[in-house]
């Protein structure tokens, strides 16, 4: 798609809601809450907000600015800065699509199944056995696939179909409209869950565990590493999504203020959603007579084992509470899922000049077929392994590369100048502090995070899985993504696409 014919958002609100929808995902609801509890309660908020300031906001400003300046998804944007780094531009959307969306769609499928189970609360008393054995028929090993699980496969097909319907249309008639509907509903349902949670017996106990600070934890570097990692993941950084979304913005737009709003609203949502989670955890603690630590679990266990068990103990309206909770998870998942698809669809449209409908259809078909491995009886184990490696290595590597390409090759001050020129009517300007973060602070922090994770990995195999499983579905998966990223660079760009003279006449002032 040529730049002068590029679709734009219908409104700033539409862009903002789409960006927030991408950032707000399933991890905001359970991952942030669990990490806050594990790493010192209220004390965790200090490194979390430090991470937001020195890593989260600088990187989201970078991605918004780069996509807006270069009018392209990450591969085209990187190629216009330096053609030798095109592969890195492909790395991000490929990691997002084939590293995350393949299994993310399956988890959203779990939400679909549990939404319908909530109608009559039919998961039974033993929610752990129901999830792992009755529903997933787990094989006990990531290397023993054991065939497809039909309900999960069907739900995953439904998820991919919904994403295809939304992404099939131009972004201002598909994703923008969907997010204008989904995000307000998501926020309203979340607030209803928080309010309902406050009424449960034991809710105060859970909220105290969530917020009471343990200041001693701040002395542990792992807490700071976890905070920076959470900020990085929760803002959808390193996926190529925000670069893509920003490329559809009008030429005169307040990039910095949009970046601030996206970051702050996303983090506030995580914090508020934590009350809904921990009020239920406190309720469960009282009902079972167990300490909070023995009740709370991370990841899918929290959503599909602990919450259903809590719903079983509710005195009334169990099905309504269940329907609301899994509707929240479904909407959060879909709003993030469509952005993962869009990042790759836009990149391929830029490169090959294919029509949007064709690209989106192929991506969704291949995506569904790729998801089938996660709908097998080994699926839950594969999700755990690949999620760990993609989020702890692939995405952080993308962030480090972004800092190098923009900070040192393009020069941070060049992009900062562009951002400020585009925001002539805004009092929010990017200062020199941003250059320092992008060139030094942010990449050094990310390098430290990835190094610490790798050191720990070399000592103990992740999750207690066999070394073969970790290599095949962890390291090898990343190697395949690298090969794909490089392979896409062999197809040449049309020469005119790499020239910045492609800008429409009314936008020449931006050069």
- Measured CA to CA, the distance from residue 218 to residue 240 in angstroms comes to 32
Per-residue pLDDT, 425: 64
For residue 408, give the DSSP letter: I
Percent of the chain at pLDDT > 70 equals 95
Per-residue pLDDT, 226: 80
For the segment 230-265, what is each residue's pLDDT rounded down to a tens digit? 887 788 888 999 999 999 998 888 899 999 999 999
- Compute the average pLDDT of residues 350-361: 94
For the segment 35-63, what is each residue's pLDDT rounded down to a tens digit? 888 888 888 989 999 989 988 999 999 99
pTM here is 0.94
Are 348 and 359 contacting, i.e. CB atoms less than 8 angstroms apart? yes
The secondary element (H helix, E strand) that includes residue 145 is none
For the segment 254-301, what is each residue's pLDDT rounded down to a tens digit? 899 999 999 999 999 999 999 998 898 899 899 889 888 888 776 677
Considering all CA atoms of the chain, what is the largest pairwise distance in Å, rounded to the nearest integer? Answer: 70
HSE (side-chain half, CA atoms, 13 Å) at 196: 22
Are 93 and 418 contacting, i.e. CB atoms less than 8 angstroms apart? no
Percent of the chain at pLDDT > 90 equals 66
Mean pLDDT of the chain: 90
For residue 314, give the DSSP letter: -
Per-residue pLDDT, 220: 84
Query: 114, 176, 134, 85: which is closest to 328 by C-alpha?
Result: 114
pLDDT band at residue 5 using 50, 70 and 90 as cut-offs: low
Please list, in sequence order, all residues whose beta carbon lies within 8 angstroms of the beta carbon of residue 479, skipping any fewer than 6 positions away. Answer: none
- Measured CA to CA, the distance from residue 70 to residue 63 in angstroms comes to 11
Using DSSP, state whether 491 is helix, strand or coil: coil
For the segment 206-218, what is each residue's pLDDT rounded down to a tens digit? 999 888 888 998 8
Please list, in sequence order, all residues whose beta carbon lies within 8 angstroms of the beta carbon of residue 47, skipping any fewer than 6 positions away. Answer: 218, 223, 224, 226, 227, 228
- Measured CA to CA, the distance from residue 138 to residue 143 in angstroms comes to 11
Helix axes 74-81, 86-94, angle to 10 degrees: 160
DSSP conformation letters of 358-401: HHHHHHHHHHHHHHGGGGBTTHHHHHHHHHHHIIIIIHHHHHHH
pLDDT of 199 strictly over 70: yes
Please list, in sequence order, all residues whose beta carbon lies within 8 angstroms of the beta carbon of residue 231, skipping any fewer than 6 positions away. Answer: 48, 51, 52, 55, 56, 267
- Measured CA to CA, the distance from residue 323 to residue 327 in angstroms comes to 6
Tell me which residue has tokens 């929010």.
428
Domains and CATH numbers, the chain: 14-510 (1.20.1740.10)
Tell me which residue has tokens 């100048």.
417
């Amino acid at each position: 798609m040529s730049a002068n014919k590029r679709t734009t958002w219908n409104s700033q609100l539409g862009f903002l809601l789409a960006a927030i929808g991408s950032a707000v995902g399933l991890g905001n609801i359970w991952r942030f809450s669990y990490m806050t509890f594990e790493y010192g309660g209220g004390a965790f908020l200090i490194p979390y907000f430090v991470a937001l300031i020195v890593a989260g906001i600088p990187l989201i400003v970078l991605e918004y600015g780069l996509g807006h300046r270069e009018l392209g998804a990450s591969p085209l944007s990187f190629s216009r800065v330096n053609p030798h780094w095109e592969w890195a531009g492909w790395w991000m959307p490929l990691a997002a699509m084939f590293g995350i969306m393949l299994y993310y769609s399956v988890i959203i499928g779990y939400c679909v199944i549990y939404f319908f189970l909530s109608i009559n609360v039919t998961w039974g008393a033993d929610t752990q056995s129901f999830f792992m054995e009755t529903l997933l028929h787990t094989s006990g090993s990531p290397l023993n696939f054991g065939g497809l699980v039909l309900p999960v496969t069907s739900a995953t097909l439904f998820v991919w179909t919904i994403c295809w319907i939304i992404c099939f249309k131009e972004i201002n008639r598909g994703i923008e409209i969907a997010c204008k509907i989904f995000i307000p509903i998501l926020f309203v349902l979340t607030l209803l869950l928080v309010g309902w949670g406050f009424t449960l017996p034991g809710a105060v106990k859970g909220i105290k565990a969530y917020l009471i600070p343990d200041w001693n934890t701040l002395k542990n570097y792992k807490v700071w590493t976890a905070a920076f990692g959470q900020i990085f993941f929760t803002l959808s950084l390193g996926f190529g999504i925000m670069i893509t979304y920003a490329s559809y913005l009008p030429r005169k737009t307040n990039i910095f203020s949009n970046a601030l709003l996206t970051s702050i609203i996303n983090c506030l949502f995580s914090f508020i959603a934590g009350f809904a989670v921990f009020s239920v955890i406190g309720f469960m603690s009282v009902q079972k007579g167990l300490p909070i630590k023995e009740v709370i679990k991370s990841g899918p266990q929290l959503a599909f084992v602990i919450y259903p068990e809590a719903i079983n103990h509710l005195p009334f309206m169990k099905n309504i509470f269940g329907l609301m909770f899994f509707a929240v998870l479904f909407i959060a998942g879909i709003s993030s899922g469509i952005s993962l698809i869009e990042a790759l669809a836009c990149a391929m449209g830029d490169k090959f000049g294919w029509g949007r409908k064709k690209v989106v259809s192929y991506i969704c078909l291949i995506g569904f077929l790729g998801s089938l491995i996660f709908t097998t009886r080994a699926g839950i184990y594969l999700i755990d392994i690949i999620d760990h490696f993609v989020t702890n290595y692939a995405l952080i590597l993308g962030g480090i590369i972004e800092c190098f390409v923009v900070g040192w090759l393009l020069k941070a001050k060049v992009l900062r100048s562009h951002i400020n020129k585009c925001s002539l009517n805004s009092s929010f300007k990017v200062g020199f502090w941003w250059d320092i973060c992008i060139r030094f602070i942010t990449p050094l922090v990310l390098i430290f995070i990835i190094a610490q994770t790798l050191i720990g990995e070399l000592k103990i195999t992740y999750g207690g899985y066999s070394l073969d499983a970790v290599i095949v579905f962890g390291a090898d998966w990343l190697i395949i993504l690298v090969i794909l990223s490089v392979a896409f660079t062999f197809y040449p760009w049309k020469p005119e696409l790499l020239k910045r003279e492609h800008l429409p006449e009314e936008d020449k002032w931006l050069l």
